Amino acid sequence: MRLDHQRRYAEDEVVDAVVIGTGAGGAPVLARLAAAGLKVVALEAGPNFEPAAFAFDETLADEIYWTEERLSGGSTPEAFGANNSGTGVGGSTLHWGAFVPRPDRRDFALRTETGEGCDWPLTLDDLLPFYARVEDFIGVSGAPDYPWDPGRRYPLPPVPRNGPAEIMALACGRTGLRAADAPAAVVSRDFQQADGPARAACIQCGYCHQGCRTGAKTSMDVTYLPYAVRHGAEIRPESVVHGLERDRIGRITAVIYRSGGVDRRQACGAVYLCAGAVETPRLLLNLGLANGSGQVGRNYMGHVATQVWGSFPDEIRMNRGYPSALITEDMVRPEGADFAGGYLVQSLGVQPLTLANAVARSRGLWGEALHACLAGYNHLAGIGINGETLPCDENRLTLVDETDALGLAKARVSFGYGENERRLNAHATALMTDLWKAAGAADIWVLERVAHTIGTCRMGRDGDSAVVDPYGRSFEIDNLWISDGSTFPSSLAANPALTIMALGLRSAEAFLKRD
């Protein structure tokens, strides 16, 4: 994005807030604080990209993935990098799938409902105004009548259904499930971004996960960040934070970061830590900060994101179009389920390397069987879920002895399914397999997968059991705020980014009213 005309702040000028990270958590905060006239500087570890230069190539797309090594353990080790972790101005939204269902009301109070999981210290009603504002601002395309929330209206008509979406619609029709065009943060019509670029309608290239060249897909660098810069924010790319200076009473006074090979220091009145559910706790644990509750790093969650694939007689060419154009929320609370919570189902198209990686790793194919599978690429279509994961003591992020280039200890994330996830997974796998059979798929196979990075700095009502309050403010350091997926007390069945943005706006407005 263009940063050449942005306002600059001196390092010794005490800005109102330094925002660490420019993804879905940091960008709305930066925009909202700048709009209120505050002096804000964002520090982004990754580079600043020109979207037009992305190249429709899954290997070149490495540049937008967070590839600093993390150690993945536990009984269901989760892949990072291209699977869920981004870098660059815009953070993970450069590669995200832009799938933006709203969470179900019941998911915020799962414990009250089922005795499992935990309740959030807020309700859907607290967030609804923010969801609507985010959707209007970033340009969400979706069904004109959303079957599971009749009053909901999306600002743009749905994106066209691609091959897998049509197959899933057929399968749902045959099995009696409701399906709808998915809420997608991809503009289906030309869209003038408020105080930002003109975003042309999606060209259906299918490369959402490799960086959108046209700006049709919402990423922070075409939405909240240009808005923030227009309102006086400064964004410093390639600036890796590794220290926080504090005064005698423990308040943060400056942020230390490495840029161009040298350490720099930005004086500030407050810090927004928005580095995601791995880097946020990793920095706090490395610095030994804000962890009086002992909760930093705990209750790490990834969504159950199992997929079912099958081969169809006609060419699908699933690389075309928005990858996840159809949704059903009928399984948010499946009838007769033997587990708490539920899951969303979406249609899936993926680019060749993403498929091949899954086929080689999880399906375990190699040799002639691998070649045969790849040769059938144009006939494949997938269906997948995003399912509730309960917080769990064993699932946590810790530091290991190995360090990165800046001397910070690397993170080890231990993650494994519990009984609830296993049951949910079995239910979903059977359902998706039935759907794909109903659609006439041959050679059906199941891909076990974990998606997203959630938890590790949970919000709550008190500092004994939570890291931040319901607005993201640290219980321990009163000018430290967190805005990213780390604050989620439970996973919710919905994909997290929309909620991260909504929480960010809500947090920023609380920040503006703070004492």
Q: Minimal distance in Å, beta carbon 116 to other proteins?
A: 27
Give 36 or 374: the residue with its C-beta nearer to other proteins.
374
Q: Minimal distance in Å, beta carbon 38 to other proteins?
A: 24
If binding is defined by CB under 8 A, does position 348 make contact with other proteins? no
Q: Minimal distance in Å, beta carbon 253 to other proteins?
A: 33
Measured in degrees and rounded to the nearest 5, phi and psi for residue 418 equal: -95, -175
Residues 173-232 that bind other proteins (CB under 8 A): 196-200, 202-207, 213-215, 222, 226
Among the listed residues 58, 135, 181, 388, the single contact to other proteins using CB under 8 A: 58
Nearest to 264 by CA among 233, 237, 239, 288: 239
Q: Are 340 and 423 in contact (CB under 8 A)?
A: no
Residues 149-178 that bind other proteins (CB under 8 A): 159-163, 165-166
Give residues with Cβ within 8 angstroms of 59, minimum separation 6. Answer: 353
Give residues with Cβ within 8 angstroms of 53, minimum separation 6. Answer: 213
Q: Minimal distance in Å, beta carbon 404 to other proteins?
A: 10
Residues 231-260 that bind other proteins (CB under 8 A): none
Among the listed residues 36, 55, 109, 444, the single contact to other proteins using CB under 8 A: 55
Give 11 or 57: the residue with its C-beta nearer to other proteins.
57
Among the listed residues 259, 357, 433, 465, the single contact to other proteins using CB under 8 A: 357
Q: Minimal distance in Å, beta carbon 264 to other proteins?
A: 25
If binding is defined by CB under 8 A, does position 85 make contact with other proteins? yes
Q: How far is Cα 264 from Cα 257, in angstroms, rounded to an integer?
A: 5
If binding is defined by CB under 8 A, does position 377 make contact with other proteins? yes
Q: Candidates 68-76, 266-274, 291-299, 436-444 — which segment interacts with other proteins by CB under 8 A?
A: 68-76
Give 353 or 512: the residue with its C-beta nearer to other proteins.
353
Measured in degrees and rounded to the nearest 5, phi and psi for residue 412 equal: -115, 120
In degrees, to the nearest 5, what angle opens at C-alpha 152 toward C-alphas 150 and 154? 135
Q: Are 102 and 431 in contact (CB under 8 A)?
A: no
Would you tell me how many other CB atoms lie within 10 Å of the CB of residue 54?
20
Q: Are 97 and 494 in contact (CB under 8 A)?
A: no
If binding is defined by CB under 8 A, does position 44 make contact with other proteins? no
If binding is defined by CB under 8 A, does position 93 make contact with other proteins? no
If binding is defined by CB under 8 A, does position 76 make contact with other proteins? no
If binding is defined by CB under 8 A, does position 53 make contact with other proteins? yes
- Taken in order 82, 370, 344, 338, the sign of the CA dihedral is negative
Binding string, 303-342, against other proteins, x = CB under 8 A? ------------xxx-xxxx--x-----------------
| Total binding residues toward other proteins, as defined by CB under 8 A | 83
Give 377 or 471: the residue with its C-beta nearer to other proteins.
377
Q: Minimal distance in Å, beta carbon 77 to other proteins?
A: 6
3-state secondary structure of 126: helix
If binding is defined by CB under 8 A, does position 353 make contact with other proteins? yes
Q: Is residue 75 exposed (0-12), middle (13-18) or buried (19+ Cβ within 10 Å)? A: exposed
Q: Are 365 and 355 in contact (CB under 8 A)?
A: no
Annotate 292-318 with DSSP letters as a single string: TTS-TTEEEEEEE--EEEEE-SS---T
